[in-house]
Amino acid sequence: MRAFDIIRTCLRNLTKRKLRTTLTVSGVLIGTSAIIVMMSLGIGMDREMTKMIEEWADLTMIEVYNYGGRTDQGGEVADITDDVIKEFKALKNVTSVMPVYTNFYVGEQIAVYNTNGKALQWTPLVGVYMDELENFGFKLKEGRFKQPGEPNTTVLFGSEVGEYVILFEEGIDQWGNYQYEYAERDWDTWELLSFPVDHMGDEWYIIPLTMDYNTWRPDYSVIDSPTAPHMDYNEQLNVVGVIEGSWSFYETVRGIFIDISYIKGLIEAYNELNPDNQYAEFDGVYNNVRIRVNDMDNVVAVEDELKAMGYQTWSANEMRENMRQQIMIIQLLLAALAAVSLFVAAMNITNTMIMAIVERTKEIGIMKVLGCDVGKIRIMFLGEAAAIGFLGGVAGIILSLGLSFIINNFLGTLFMGLMGGGGSEAIRISVIPPWLALMALGIAMAVGVVAGLYPAHRSVKISALAAISHE
Amino acid sequence: MGTMISVKNLIKIYKVGSEKVVALNDLTFDVEQGEICCILGTSGCGKSTLLNMLAGLEKPTRGEIVIGGQHIEKMNEVKVTKFRQKNVGFIFQSYNLLYGITALENVAMPLMFRGVRKKKREKIAFLMLAMVGLAKRVRHKPTQMSGGQQQRVGIARAFAARPKIVFADEPTGNLDSKTTIEVMELMVEMCRRNNQTLILVTHDKDIAAYADRTIRLYDGYIVSDERKNVEIKQERVLT
């Protein structure tokens, strides 16, 4: 018997009992779409959550701190030096390691100013490995990265550096305040429209400041007096580029990136000028190191290794994993609920098939007597059950695509409204990736086949003799 | 002509409760190829049991059945089904057609089991139906046909795959006398055309008249085994 004939026979038997087939298929349809929709909610939640976290956090970055403590073996935790950083970099899945030194704030201990008389405010001076920035995944808004061999006065600006500047040449007013100027911001998109400074066009200088203890303000007057001792430390900065800022790494928005080697000299200069307010000398030990991991799924493993070495770590991924586990539990519960309906559908299929076999006992007997292979009879019934599963699966996919559409377009906005979300971006609570649809179809067919096993076995056991002799 | 069927010391015992009923008691006979052989007997004499055993639908308690050199009693269900598919055609008293499909599809069914393509098998089935005089009814379902027509479909089906042996179990049991004659003549003609062996099981002596040879069974024993022209004519004189 040819495969095509078997398929034809299956379909004929299914179409002969249209109502019964439709009802049985509906059972599978409900089960399949329940599973798809439930799973799609979990997937949608996971995606929304990941997207949300990505907006304010960098999921492939780990921050490492050293607060002392012990290693897993009970040894002393090694200070984070350049050598330890090399060890970090040798860890599996780590693509880049960078120390971050941010003790100095521009506008407090130091001044960065241009020749137009404007000095930057609210700007951390970030000591990093300048040659590692590109490898670490920084993106540029304009300009270029520092080339190896360029002097350590080569810097990159964060994207919003210069949002607020002091006009130090105007001096202080009658209340002791400096005049200032700030950028225009579009408060809807949160974008800066114009800067009071030209990042790459202006001529920039850096100088350590002293504190005016009467006003508790840094004293900018030194900049305009060429005889002041400060001028020994007045150096021109070479701004080669502006970083594409991201709030997941605050300094890329507000900071000035400079080579860590420059910071060392800066501390010495500052301490010399401020004998009453000393900074600890830079001894080659970092407190904060950022590690870039190749994939967010490997972050936990890298973190575990770092913890075993005795360091404290923080990553947004840790939080994401926690939330993800909660979502997974919800998803499993929902899927289990849906599985119940699929189980009912399976019993329904078995019942339908047993009825079909009872009705067709005589027919099966005749076929056996006329020489139809026993195996083909089994395949025929399994095929019928699988076809019910397949039809239910396909219908289930179609139904759940519709349900998903409704959920996303109507319930989604309702949901966001309840949560008080802005709703500028459409939220997709239910996501059906192709693999989910295919998996559901596979499950539906498998359920059909499994449900058909016993009836098919029964059909094979029918005695040809008894079947043809009973009227 | 060679021996088609060879039965040796065939015994069948049924257990009914604690009692043993001997249905067939040590039967031994041969059937030649191309022979039309009638197994005649009253109801309960064991003739249907014998037919079932020859067709491999039941297993004998003891004894041998060799058809075309193959031992039927030693085959498992899968093998015996395959054997039937290749060598055996069936005609039943109650026709045993499938009522959900057309006459054409019914006749083509044994060919389908053999793996013949749809186009080819339906062509053969059409020719067979034309041969039994139902060319105009090929698309009808058996429910729309009279008993005689249904049995002709049954005959077309039995011969469609050109089996070496055709078993007919009371083929005219549900038919009136006029139709009986038509059906019997048709069966004999079909058989003769391809030199096929026909085993005819009946309780009707008139039917036996169409056979070359008649084996009479009584309570599981062979009581007579006679060729045509001798025994049958004598009986007619007697009645």
pLDDT band at B91 (very low <50, low <70, confident <90, very high): very high
pLDDT at A321: 81
By CB atoms closer than 10 A (0-12, 13-18, 19+), residue A278 is exposed
Nearest CB to B90; choose among A16, A369, A375: A369
- Residue B230, pLDDT > 60, answer no
pLDDT at B231: 46
By CB atoms closer than 10 A (0-12, 13-18, 19+), residue B157 is buried
- How far apart are alpha carbons A100 and A87 in whole angstroms? 17
pLDDT in tens, A234-279: 888 999 999 988 877 888 889 999 998 898 888 888 888 888 778 8
Residues of chain B in contact with residue A374, where contact means CB-CB under 8 angstroms, are 77-78, 81
Contact yes or no for A372 and B113 at CB 8 A: yes
pLDDT at A385: 94
Tens digit of pLDDT at every position of chain A (471 positions): 788 899 988 998 899 889 999 999 999 999 999 999 988 988 888 888 888 777 777 888 898 988 766 777 777 788 888 888 999 999 999 999 999 888 888 888 888 988 888 899 889 999 999 988 888 888 899 999 999 889 989 999 999 898 889 888 887 777 777 888 888 888 877 778 888 888 888 999 998 888 777 777 787 877 776 666 666 778 889 999 999 888 778 888 899 999 988 988 888 888 888 887 788 877 888 878 999 999 888 888 999 888 888 888 888 877 788 888 888 898 888 888 888 999 999 999 999 999 999 998 999 999 999 989 888 999 999 999 999 999 999 999 999 999 999 888 887 666 666 555 544 456 778 889 999 999 999 999 999 999 999 999 999 988 888 887 755
Encode burial over B106-141: b for 16+ CB neighbours within 10 A, e otherwise: bbbbbbbbbebeeeebbebbbebbebbebeebbeeb
* B19-29 average pLDDT score: 90
Nearest CA in chain A to B59: A465
B103: number of Cβ within 10 Å: 28
Strand partners, B89: B166
Contact yes or no for A374 and B77 at CB 8 A: yes
For residue B181, the distance in angstroms to the closest alpha carbon of chain A comes to 25
Q: Tokens representing A333? A: 């519960």
pTM for the whole structure: 0.69
Task: Select from B137, B151, B206 the least CA-distant residue to B183.
Answer: B151
Residues of chain B in contact with residue A375, where contact means CB-CB under 8 angstroms, are 78
Q: Is the ipTM of this complex over 0.90?
A: no
pLDDT band at B238 (very low <50, low <70, confident <90, very high): very low
By CB atoms closer than 10 A (0-12, 13-18, 19+), residue A446 is middle
Touching check for B133 and chain A: CB below 8 Å?
A: no
- How far apart are alpha carbons A369 and A438 in whole angstroms? 40
pLDDT at B198: 94
Task: Select from B84, B96, B20 the least CA-distant residue to B58.
Answer: B84
For residue B46, the distance in angstroms to the closest alpha carbon of chain A comes to 15
Helix (H, G, I), strand (E, B) or coil at A85: helix
Contact yes or no for A2 and B110 at CB 8 A: no
Helix (H, G, I), strand (E, B) or coil at A60: coil
pLDDT in tens, A344-375: 999 999 999 999 999 989 999 999 999 898 88
Contact yes or no for B57 and A363 at CB 8 A: no
pLDDT band at B174 (very low <50, low <70, confident <90, very high): confident
- How far apart are alpha carbons A468 and A55 in whole angstroms? 73
Helix (H, G, I), strand (E, B) or coil at B109: helix
Disruptive mutation site among A369, A373, A378, A468 for chain B (greatest number of B CBs within 10 Å):
A369
CA distances from A36 to A273, A303, A370, A414, A438 (A): 69, 34, 45, 22, 10
pLDDT in tens, B178-192: 889 988 999 999 899
CA distances from B39 to B201, B221, B231 (A): 5, 12, 14
Disruptive mutation site among A7, A370, A376 for chain B (greatest number of B CBs within 10 Å):
A370
CB A28 within 8 A of CB A356: no
pLDDT at A419: 56
**What is the residue extent of each domain of chain A?**
3-56+320-469, 101-285
pLDDT band at B130 (very low <50, low <70, confident <90, very high): very high
Residues of chain A in contact with residue B85, where contact means CB-CB under 8 angstroms, are 370-373
**Domains of chain B, CATH where assigned:** 33-60+76-238 (3.40.50.300)
Task: Select from B218, B158, B216 the least CA-distant residue to B190.
Answer: B158
- The amino acid at residue A8 is R
Calculate ∠ Cα A232-A115-A194, nearest 5°. Answer: 135
Task: Select from A11, A14, A29 the least CA-distant residue to A391.
Answer: A29
